A and B are shown apart, each in its own frame.
Chain A
Amino acid sequence: DAKTTQPPSMDCAEGRAANLPCNHSTISGNEYVYWYRQIHSQGPQYIIHGLKNNETNEMASLIITEDRKSSTLILPHATLRDTAVYYCIVPPQGGSEKLVFGKGMKLTVNP
């Protein structure tokens, strides 16, 4: 499995963009990058996933570098409700259902 590295925590001001980094330097050619988040006392929630091209949905944007060794999850206008632990996951090729969660990164959105 490609290992991912995230900083343990990050702060962001409410209304500003939150840029959450993730390194996955050992990612293989056909392995996707997934992002989930877990708000306190809730189960994890899917955010977005991508392979090569940048992806955007109603929750966030995912920017993957050209060499695919790192990515950034962007929350364009962070709100207090975005305070959560964010997990960057690279499941094994052919096993996209095999989510291996690390410790993730705690994002705190401050008023």
Chain B
Amino acid sequence: EAGVAQSPRYKIIEKRQSVAFWCNPISGHATLYWYQQILGQGPKLLIQFQNNGVVDDSQLPKDRFSAERLKGVDSTLKIQPAKLEDSAVYLCASSQTETQYFGPGTRLLVL
């Protein structure tokens, strides 16, 4: 069974630029999550989708972050404009039951 796929794996941008991350969940998993993990900390949930609907986006900085899952499968997370403090690993996870399966993450460096 293929795992959660994410791309790109690494991205370096300058502050105020835009960036997008892509996630392909495990086939059949209705729930998809985006997490932000700052160095030295545990992952923090940004947004949770159930199929193509948002379940929880309470910790998503909506002035600069957006996410979509239009067809209930793949998802994109966008940051526009990026700030220095957005440097982190962005993790995507999917689940069918209570167990979440994580992708390898996208490491973002904002200069």
Number of interface residues of B (CB under 8 A): 22
Complex: A85 Cα to B56 Cα, angstroms:
26
Q: Given B4, B44, B95, B101, which contacts A101 in the complex, CB threshold below 8 Å?
A: B44
List residues 79-111 of chain A with CB under 8 A from any CB of chain B.
Answer: 85, 87, 96-104
Give the complex CA separation of A86 and B4 in angstroms: 20
Inter-chain contact total with CB atoms closer than 8 Å = 48
Give the secondary structure class of B's interface: strand
Smallest CB separation, A107 vs chain B (Å): 15
Which of A13-21, A22-30, A38-46, A68-76 has 4 or more CB atoms under 8 Å from chain B?
A: A38-46
B91 touches A97 (CB 8 A): no
Tell me the residues in window 39-79 of chain A with beta carbons closer than 8 Å to chain B beta carbons: 41-46, 49
State which of B65-73, B74-82, B102-110 sits at the interface with chain A.
B102-110
Write the residues of chain A forming the contact surface with B, with a CB cutoff of 8 angstroms: 32, 34, 41-46, 49, 85, 87, 96-104
Q: Known contacts A43-B93, A49-B98, A104-B42; decide if A97 and B31 are in contact (CB<8 Å).
A: yes
Chain A residues near B99 (CB-CB < 8 A): 46, 49
Interface of A is mostly: loop
Given contacts A101-B43, A101-B44, A102-B42, contact A43 B98 (CB under 8 A): no
Closest 5 interchain pairs by CB? Answer: A101-B42, A43-B102, A96-B98, A46-B99, A101-B43
Q: For chain B, residues 28 to 56, give those with C-beta under 8 angstroms from any C-beta of chain A.
A: 31, 33, 40-45, 48, 56
Choice from B42, B45, B56, B103 contacting A43 with Cβ under 8 Å: B103
**Residue among B40, B43, B103, B105 with most chain A CB within 10 A:** B43
CB distance from A63 to the nearest CB of B (A): 20
Instruction: Name the residue of chain B whose CB is nearest to the CB of A95.
Output: B56
